Structure 1
């Protein structure tokens, strides 16, 4: 029996509303195989990282961002740790003015709050107030800024095994040789294939998955020191230097920018991940 977040009948019936939303918190890892449907979908986690497959894309996405999937595109996800997340389905007709390609999106505080409200709606017709909030959600999706924040995942099953393990435990400091032995691949092959399939050297990829976790922890209000040491960095200075190199600002400044304003996208000030 398939573990649907929402029954397909609830969104595929001719009289289904334009938008349906759901929130789920579980003590289990969620692994949704590739599938497609006629609706558009935007989803994200509230804690932890998600690995998302969408068309030819494969990303690691932090809880501070969401993924938009247009109608008809094959997609799937894997949570790294127990799943806690939300999802919104949008009718094909309403998707005509929404993005036509899969994207990692910056999520505004308004969108998060509107989705939270929508998850309490029951099936059936919508009130005038609910229809208005539906339009707010759709407009926020249109206005959301796509960001190249998702981290590419390798395709080779051996490398993918390593990448998923690192996504679950970014602070693991085992050397590359140990990971290669664990996955049954020669270290030289691992090094070469990681660059070919992700665009990053193994060490760079590991640093970036740590940074994705760091973004999430900083957004949750943890101190720079706790985030640095908890993410596997040997010292705080090394963490601050790398964070500034990749995002163009210090982690302290980033955390301060979040504290100053909750009505802007959480990462509106961040640049893209630099190679």
Structure 2
């Protein structure tokens, strides 16, 4: 059986999460609480992006839901959202905090977004180099670049792969993709959990709004995004997800995302609209001062 996700533990040298002065700051969480330790939900005046980095599963716990995030994804939490980080022991969870005035330009509700590789690497670089202490103009300029990319990042479907905090559903979700549990039916899971199939079916429907079969399919497709993001072929991804044929996987994928896995992967690499360079844009620096188009790239205007 797979181990349960653990609450993220704040390091002793953690930054001041209530500091709203920096344009953006970031940190990486590598420690978890011990199994069985309950951590109260908390909130910040800053907006927050939680991003899996490496080493295992990561996600966030909200008041009614848990989100386990695939790689190259992020959970956006507006200021004031009560939450906790959750992760496997040994996993790394990268968290980016943005000032309230920046957060107002993002959705007013928690959402999950998908990151293209460039945006992911930019945030990771920013975390390593600037972290939570650098408030220089250069750090702010770098942050403005990837924050603009984050604004245009595609969202995962709102009702995709919901996971409530009910312990039964959490247990199923944490073990759903292990080899011995990958293809278990509603009836088989009910037997393992010492409950009737009808009771389990009603529980899943009440907690997620989906039938057991649809909810299970969502969770399988969620995990398959990791393989797609890692560059695996659609054929290899489909078999790893437990599908008998690639065509069955493609059909299931299209029902949820509205496009094939191949086109979905291309979307991540081509997020955002191409600018029309025939327009004479007026650019502004981070302090609000104007930069003439012909002066872009002139180091004297960046001092």
Fold-level match, TM-score > 0.5? yes
Q: Normalized against structure 1, the TM-score is what? A: 0.78
**CA positional deviation for 1:217:** 0.4
1:159/1:125 Cα in 2 relative to 1: closer, same or farther (>3 Å)?
closer
- Does the 8 A contact of 1:171 with 1:230 survive in 2? no
For residues 220 and 180 of structure 2, the distance between their equivalents in structure 1, rounded to whole angstroms, comes to 5
Give 1:217's aligned residue.
227
Alignment of 1:65-76 (within 5 A): 65-76=73-84
Q: CA deviation at 1:162?
A: 1.5
Q: Deviations over 1:142-169 (max 9, x none)?
A: 3334332541113432233212322677
Contact 1:52 1:78 survives alignment (8 Å): yes
- The answer for unaligned runs of 5 or more in structure 1 is 266-275
CA distance in 2, matches of 1:29, 1:217: 29
1:262 equivalent among 242, 245, 269: 269
Q: Identify the match of residue 103 of structure 2 among 92, 95, 108.
A: 95
Unmatched runs of 5 consecutive residues or more in structure 2: 1-7, 273-303
Match of 1:183 in 2: 193
Distance 2:53 2:153 in 1: 18
Structure (1 or 2) with the larger CA radius of gyration: 2
How does 1:80-229 map onto structure 2 within 5 Å? 82-120=90-128, 121-148=130-157, 150-166=160-176, 172-229=182-239
The Cα shift of 1:29 comes to: 9.8
| Paired residue total | 260
Give the direction of change, closer, same or farther, for the CA distance of 1:6–1:115 in structure 2 (3 Å limit).
farther
| Change in 2 beyond 3 A, CA 1:105/1:250 | closer
Q: CA deviation at 1:201?
A: 1.2
The 1:75/1:28 distance shift into structure 2, 3 A limit, reads: closer
Check conservation: 2:10, 2:29, Cα contact below 8 A.
Answer: no
**What is the distance in 1 between the residues matched to 2:124 and 2:117?**
11
Q: Which has the higher contact order (CA 8 A, sep 6+)?
A: 1
Q: TM-score of the superposition, structure 2-length normalised?
A: 0.71
How large is the Cα RMSD of the aligned pairs?
A: 3.4
Partner of 2:45: 38
Between Structure 1 and Structure 2, the one with more helix by share is: 1
Change in 2 beyond 3 A, CA 1:231/1:170: farther
CA contact (8 A) 1:171 1:232 kept: no
